[in-house]
Amino acid sequence: MKAKLTAEFIGTFFLYLIISLSAVAGFAGDLAPVAIGLGLTAIVFASGFRSKAHFNPAVTAAFFITKNQAPKESLLYCIVVIAGAALAAYAASIIAPMPFQVIVDNGTGLQHSESFALVPALLSEFLFTFALVWVILNVAVAKDNAGNGFYGIAIGFVVATGAFSVGSVSGASFNPAVNIGLLIHQVIDLKLFAIYSAIQVLAGLVASFIFISIEPNKESL
């Protein structure tokens, strides 16, 4: 258990550190989705064999629903990934001591941007969180795909694709742990944090139930 939780904490820490510096602080400019996708790919390959590389409570919820993770372990995963993202947010603030406002030009929060619209943002978060969880379940859980060597690339690609596609619409979080970092950096407020997190977990659950309905050989705990 210690190895799993350590891998999840470190993986989530670096995932949000990359997101915050490349996208939120804007160091990577238009190539931020590439930096995030490549970084996530590396982290997934580094941690996948230890912890399945969730780094995301929506993914953990999917593993729990599909009976690939016990309740206690699922809860601990959620706690450590949130802690990892929070610590990364503070580390990023030291590395880049400037207003984290690249996503929102006026620096008052994503929800106050002139271009922000709640319904398109929520639909974007739902669809691409669904896509992320769906890909993870099919490359990392499906018995017929066991032992594949491309799972990290597939996961990194779907996140990068989502960031390119809807980053300007919703901020491309797809992850309640990432929302924690965005909340600390005041990119989103508490209300949007709650709405985003709920819609992301819902997307993970929908992907899980569809996966269960078509997967004949589900892993057991």
The candidate with the shortest Cα–Cα distance to 111, out of 25, 32, 190, 58, is 190
The predicted pLDDT at position 101 comes to 46
Residue 99: per-residue pLDDT? 55
Closest listed residue to residue 85, CA positions, set 170, 165, 7, 9? 9
Cβ distance 66 to 218 under 8 Å? yes
Smallest Cα–Cα separation from 160: which of 7, 6, 1, 23? 23
Q: What is the pLDDT of residue 103?
A: 44
Domains and CATH numbers, the chain: 2-214 (1.20.1080.10)
Which residue stretches of the chain have pLDDT < 50?
101-108, 218-221
Q: Looking at residue 106, what is its pLDDT?
A: 47
Q: Are 12 and 88 in contact (CB under 8 A)?
A: yes
Determine the pLDDT at residue 45.
Answer: 94
Find the distance separating the first CA and the last CA of the chain, reported in whole Å: 14
Give the position of tokens 């099919």. Answer: 138
* Per-residue pLDDT, 221: 42
Q: Are 120 and 169 in contact (CB under 8 A)?
A: yes
Sign of CA pseudo-dihedral 190, 20, 74, 9: negative
Cα–Cα distance between 8 and 76 in angstroms, integer? Answer: 10
Q: What local confidence, expressed as pLDDT, does residue 112 receive?
A: 59
How much is the pLDDT for 220?
43
Output phi, psi for 134, to 5 deg.
Answer: -60, -45
